[in-house]
Structure 1
Amino acid sequence: MIAEDSVLLRVGLIKVLESVGYEIPAAVGDAESLLAAVEEHKPDIAIIDVRMPPDFADEGVKAALLIRRQWPDVAVLLLSQYVEERYAADLLSANTSGVGYLLKQRVANVDDFLEALQRVADGGTALDPEVVAQLLVRKDRDPLRKLTPRERDVLALMAEGRSNAGIAAILVVSDSAVAKHINAILMKLDLPQTDADHRRVLAVLRFLEVG
């Protein structure tokens, strides 16, 4: 499902997604229509513009948060024209699975966009690298200061939603090296001994300062 007030982008998204096999039960231009469509169709994932009519403020974010509360099985991917970290933080603080936040410019790189979309649809996360980069710049307080530069690189890629294998490919290191870095990150952030997936989420939330 798509909620985007720009007709050109909405049509473009429909064409791209349908070309790779996605079914689009509804494509709307405002938050009110989005909520009605989600209630009717219960889609697997909703792609939502951050700013929509009538005020072009944060209607999309509010709708996404409402969707996550009322229909938690519906994944949401927010699209924004600009980096606005608090929207990513708001979304992740509400639910840490099946959420994403990307800049609209990422749609132009179709393969990367589709990979992020599928990751979110499968219950993972996808944060725009620009959001992560800005967060890294302002993270100068403990406990993140304990991390080495390489560990910060790994944590940033975790925040983007990358798997161990994905991180290893980007950093050109072995899977075992990534696993060691992640273990070190979890220890330095003093995260509780729980299942691995939950600890990864906690690490990302610590990074975003929403947990």
Structure 2
Amino acid sequence: MVQHAAARMLHGVILAKPTAVLVDGAQLIRIAFPSLMRRLDVRGTFETADALIEAQQRADVTVLELHGPMELRAGVTALRSLVAARYTVCVYTSESSPFVHAACLASGAAGVVSKTATIDLAQSAFLEVAGGAIEFPPGLLMRLQLLGERDGLRVLSPREREILAMRATGLTISEIAAVLEEPEATATREWRAITLVLRDFLACASLDMAARLLDLDCADPPDLWPSR
């Protein structure tokens, strides 16, 4: 099993960077990715999900380029194939639709990161996913927070909904820890537990339920949502 590890120094010993692989159909991106993501140990880049699965190359995080809108079906199919093969997948996409983001998470993605984010922010998100976190895009997080305000997110406790509200408004984990007057490590554990519950909530929801509760526009192909 691949071990999760942050790029850090402990007692003067440099520990291994988190490992990553990239799946992207664009050769230029595959060439550039390792030099752009210097905080990751990029173990390989692959044109397709099938090529990665065939190579059996494992890593802490698999970054999957999700193109759109014409390639959405193929991209989500690739995501599901990777999840079924037990890869930890973070979707990296220029697609802005909250419905697509929710469908990816409901299909088992461990994160969705916008390609409009800076390289530093994207890399930080990949590192979080490599360390076991679930990365929610801000727009979807806001919709979940609004659902919590309407008392429609009872899978979370009142305290967890409070933390979700703070995170959705842009507070960092450090800032949330300060507000709650608790160690940052505790706030990190709480937030990671909340994101796991939220992803499970999406994974258990039907398309109609998700669309109604989160006010999602399902103009995109509805078969992007996983069938139950």
With the length of structure 2 as denominator, give the TM-score of the two structures: 0.59
Q: Any stretches of 5+ residues in structure 2 without a counterpart? A: 1-20, 206-228
Question: Using a 3 Å threshold, how does the CA distance of structure 1 residues 7 and 64 change in structure 2: closer, same or farther?
Answer: same
1:14 and 2:48 are equivalent in the alignment: no
Asked if 1:83 is matched to 2:96, the reply is: yes
Work out which of the residue numbers 112, 134, 154 in structure 2 matches 1:125.
Answer: 134
Partner letter of residue 46 of structure 1? Answer: T
Listed one character per residue, the Cα deviations across residues 73-121 of structure 1 (whole Å, up to 9, x for unaligned) are x2101012132233333333344xx711011112x241x2222112212
> Separation in 2 of the partners of 1:64 and 1:157?
30
Q: Corresponding residue for 1:2?
A: 22
Match of 2:152 among 139, 143, 154: 143
Sequence identity of aligned pairs in percent?
20
Cα RMSD after superposing both structures: 4.2
Q: Structure 1: which amino acid aligns with 2:54?
A: E
State which of 173, 177, 190 in structure 1 corresponds to 2:179: 173
Name the amino acid aligned to 1:102.
V
SS in 1 for 2:127: helix
Task: Write out aligned runs for 1:30-49 (5 A).
Answer: 33-44=48-59, 45-49=61-65
Shift of 1:21: 4.8
2:71 is aligned to 56
Report 1 or 2 for greater relative contact order, CA contacts < 8 Å, sequence distance ≥ 6. 2
TM-superposed CA distance for 1:49, in Å, is: 1.6
Which residue of structure 2 aligns with residue 26 of structure 1?
A: 45
Aligned-partner Cα distance in 1 for 2:77–2:65? 11
Unaligned runs of 5+ in 1: 184-195
Q: Supply the AA of the counterpart residue of 2:105.
A: L
The equivalent residue for 1:201 is 196
Q: Does the 8 Å CA contact 1:25/1:41 hold for their aligned counterparts?
A: no
The answer to which structure has the higher helix fraction is 1
CA 175–75 in structure 1, closer or farther in 2 if over 3 Å, else same: farther
> What CA distance in whole angstroms lies between the structure 2 residues aligned with 1:198 and 1:174?
16
Deviation of 1:42 (Å): 2.8
CA contact (8 A) 2:92 2:112 kept: yes
Partners of 1:156 and 1:7 in 2: CA distance: 40
CA distance in 1, matches of 2:153, 2:43: 41
The number of residues matched between the two structures is: 180
* Residues 159-208 of structure 1: CA deviation (Å, up to 9, x unaligned): 8xx9xx9524257424439979x99xxxxxxxxxxxx97666225544x5
Once residues 21 and 197 of structure 1 are traced to their aligned partners in structure 2, the CA distance between those partners, rounded to angstroms, is 21
